[in-house]
Structure 1
Amino acid sequence: MTIEIRKQDNGKYLLIGEFEVGNSGHWERRILTSNLSLKKAKELKEKYGE
């Protein structure tokens, strides 16, 4: 899964994940979580991202 960090309008950060659905070759992007500090967002990206 590829994870992207984006800044929200309220100054907090959200994580967006891009992943393949099954083995179909179809990729989806979803908001994984929101309202994070930048530090926490980076920790989660490092832990779960590729």
Structure 2
Amino acid sequence: MTIFERIVAREIAAEIVYEDDDVLAFHDVNPQAPVHVLIVPKRVIPR
């Protein structure tokens, strides 16, 4: 399980700023800009 899957599953805490049925958006723990938000899909996308 990836770190992003664990965040979506709420196994790892994150500062969530947006969520819907398809995506989860949260602040990066090591931001490279004043506002640095990651947006990840909730479903696994195979390679």
Q: TM-score w.r.t. structure 2 length?
A: 0.32
Give the structure with the higher percent strand: 1
Point out which structure has higher relative CO (alpha carbons under 8 A, 6+ apart): 1
Q: TM-score w.r.t. structure 1 length?
A: 0.31
Give the structure with the higher percent helix: 1
Pick the structure with greater CA Rg. Answer: 1
